[in-house]
A and B are shown apart, each in its own frame.
Chain A
Amino acid sequence: MSIDTLRADFPILARQVHGKALVYLDNAATTHKPYSVTDRIVAFYENENAGINRSLHALADEAGTAYEAAREAVRAYLNAHSSSEIVFTSGTTESINLIAATFGEAFVREGDEIVVTAMEHHANLVPWQRLCNKTGAVLRVVPIDESGVLRLDSLEELINGRTRLVTVTHVSNVTGIVNPVSEITAMAHARDVPVLIDGAQAIAHHAIDVAALDCDFYVFSGHKIYSAAGIGVLYGKHHWLDSLPPHHSGGGMVTSVSLEHSHFERAPLRFEPGTRNVAGAVSLEAALEYVMALGMEEITSHEGALLRRLEEGLREMKGTTVHGEADRRCCSLSFNLDAAHPADVGMVLDKLGIAVRTGTHCAQPYVDAIAGKATIRASVALYNTRKDIDKLLDGIERAAVILR
């Protein structure tokens, strides 16, 4: 499929901003939606809308069927064994908080240890800090080397008999560096420690096979892979999910309730109280279908070529610094114009129609370590083109002149 016909699937890409054609390179923050996704949301509300798992009428039945079909689509996409291993949440943040709360309640005690990395998004750091503060457990942090890459030798040393969980991002949302999550999982499993992988920045750019990875938990947000916001996924191996207590409580997650006692549903329903975001779930299914129709291999290679072109262009340009060094990057690249404040660069690019992110990207410890200051981040998706990258490089050159 040609890029032009594909771009026509995403109406927002035809927009102008400040009188210029939009160049959207903030895909690590959120992605845009193809018609097939927004059409599916509209079709749901026009034809199937109902509260699920409650009523016996036809609409409730159809909506419930659609919701479970979406769960099955996610299962197939991740290559999980069973759809009961797929919990719908509101996004990565909720998925991680759910595990921190329930895994913490069941398994984490004073003196236990949780292993995180120096590369995490705050969403995969702060919940663990809070859990440790609450329980008296200790947070152990896998350091990075001067290239911004995780030091696996340190991970090996950090895992011990008190380690309860290793949690790591699949892909950095700052440098785009891809972590060797299979290897990390194998290292942890060799000591019987379960592993959570934050897939927020990998899901739209990489084929994900949780069976092959063998990770215990994998989490992501729908909005980062072309679906609506407000829907996300927590994959958990069946025996883990079944061993965890509920997180939020309410209707739909119980089998029987008296005034004194409740019996909880099994996973995934145990973790899905309240009226569900069915429109979000079916929009995610539509998004996964869109991605599968294009082929993830195609997407990975297209985006990889764009990132390499950007990195080359930046490294050729005088007075710029690209942060981190790795063979494989995915989605994001962080850099600075050495002489300019990133906020200034962001403002200039904005007026040229170019959307990037500036700041510390909700990963302040990592950004502080690799850059020592805020950075500019460009991040690609399947609809970006070589022309987008060239416009960004031109824009950075213009910014360098104006901000000299």
Chain B
Amino acid sequence: MDLSQEHIITEMQAREDWMDKYEYLISLGEQLRPMDPALVSEDTAIGGCQSHVWIAAETINGRMRFQGDSDAKITRGILAVVLSIVDGRSPADVAGMDFICLRKIGLSSSLSPSRAEGLAAIISRVRELGARSSSE
């Protein structure tokens, strides 16, 4: 499955009904690379979501590689979108990522910290991982 940003935006915009968008997001979540079970821990867990979410990253040759998982399907799909945006980028890029494209797919209205999706918490963890890696 094509996980490029442009493709995701096109696919999301092609679907008018939110039920179709969710089905697409869920299918993206199913494509998410399985997370190494050893990385599922308190350290990688994100608070502020109603579902469990974990994100881990490592930096290889200056490029960040992300893994993540969630026990909720839609959240895993949203996680897949977020990680597709930052995966393979430099730590500085990740730390400063504005995630404006999330607005194009209608997810930015979910950015308030209290939303069940936990998108705001996911984004702030991703940026933090970028900042941590660039200061190493």
A and B are partners in one complex rather than unrelated chains: yes
Chain A residues close to B by CB (< 8 Å):
18, 340-344, 346-348, 350-352, 358-359, 374, 398, 402-403
Stretch at the interface among B30-38, B68-76, B87-95, B121-129: B68-76
- Shortest CB-to-CB span from A261 to chain B, Å, is 47
Cross-chain contact B117 with A347 (CB below 8 angstroms): yes
Q: Is B14 on the interface with A (CB-CB < 8 A)?
A: no
B51 interface contact, C-beta 8 A: yes
Q: For the complex, what is the distance from the CA of A324 to the CA of B26, rounded to whole Å?
A: 31
Contact A343 B22 (CB under 8 A): no
**One of A18, A343, A402 near B75 (C-beta < 8 A):** A343
Chain A residues contacting B19 (CB-CB under 8 Å) are: 348, 351-352, 398, 402
Please state if B22 and A346 are interface contacts (CB–CB under 8 Å): no
Interchain CB contact (< 8 A) of A374 among B18, B50, B117 = B50
Could you say which residues of chain B place their CB within 8 Å of the CB of A402? 19, 22-23, 26
A351 and B109 alpha carbons, distance in the complex (Å): 12
Most A CB contacts (10 A, CB to CB) among B26, B72, B75 go to: B72
Within the complex, which residue of B18, B22, B73 is in contact with A341, where a contact is CB–CB below 8 Å? Answer: B73
If the complex has contacts A18-B18, A351-B18, A358-B50, are A344 and B75 also in contact, measured as CB distance less than 8 A?
A: yes
Interface size band for B: 10 to 19
Binding site for A on B (CB under 8 A): 18-19, 22-23, 26, 49-51, 71-75, 116-117
Q: Is the CB of A347 within 8 A of B22?
A: yes
For A403, what are the chain B residues with a Cβ–Cβ distance below 8 Å? 26, 73-74
Q: Is the CB of A359 within 8 A of B50?
A: yes
**Distance (Å) between the CB of B29 and the closest chain A CB?**
10
B72 lies within 8 A of A344 (CB):
yes
B23 A341 Cβ-Cβ under 8 A? no
Does B72 lie within 8 Å of A343, measured CB to CB? yes
Closest partner residue, chain A, to B22 (CB atom): A402
Pick the most buried of A18, A346, A359, A402: most chain B CB atoms within 10 A of its CB: A402
Closest 10 CB pairs of A and B: A351-B18, A341-B72, A343-B50, A343-B51, A343-B72, A344-B72, A343-B116, A344-B74, A347-B74, A344-B73
What are 6 pairs between A and B in contact, CB < 8 Å?
Answer: A340-B73, A342-B50, A344-B72, A347-B74, A350-B116, A358-B50
Instruction: Please tell me if the beta carbons of A348 and B22 are within 8 angstroms of each other in the complex.
Output: yes
Let me know if A347 and B23 touch, CB within 8 A.
no
Residues of B within 8 Å of A344, CB to CB, are: 51, 72-75
| Smallest beta-carbon distance A401→chain B, Å | 9
Chain A residues with Cβ below 8 Å from B117 are 343, 347
The residue on A at minimum CB distance from B20 is A402
Which residues of chain B are near A374, meaning CB under 8 Å? 50
A300 to B71, CA, bound (A): 38
Chain B residues near A398: list those with CB within 8 A. 19
Task: Report Cα–Cα, A17/B55, bound state, in Å.
Answer: 31
Further pairs besides A359-B50, A402-B23, A402-B26: 11, Cβ < 8 Å = A341-B51, A343-B72, A344-B75, A346-B50, A346-B116, A347-B74, A347-B117, A348-B22, A351-B22, A358-B50, A403-B74
> With A and B bound together, what is the CA distance between A32 and B49 in angstroms?
26
User: Closest chain B residue to A348 by CB distance?
Assistant: B22
Residues on B with C-beta less than 8 A from A342 are 50
Q: Please indicate the chain A residues that have their CB under 8 angstroms from the CB of B73 in the complex.
A: 340-341, 344, 403
Closest residue of chain B to A350 (Cβ to Cβ) is B116
Q: Which A-chain residue is minimally distant from B23 (CB atoms)?
A: A402
* Cα A403 to Cα B26 with chains together (Å): 8
A352 cross-chain contacts in B, Cβ below 8 A: 18-19
In the complex, how many angstroms separate the beta carbon of A358 from the nearest chain B beta carbon?
6
In whole angstroms, how far apart are the Cα atoms of A197 and B19 in the complex? 43
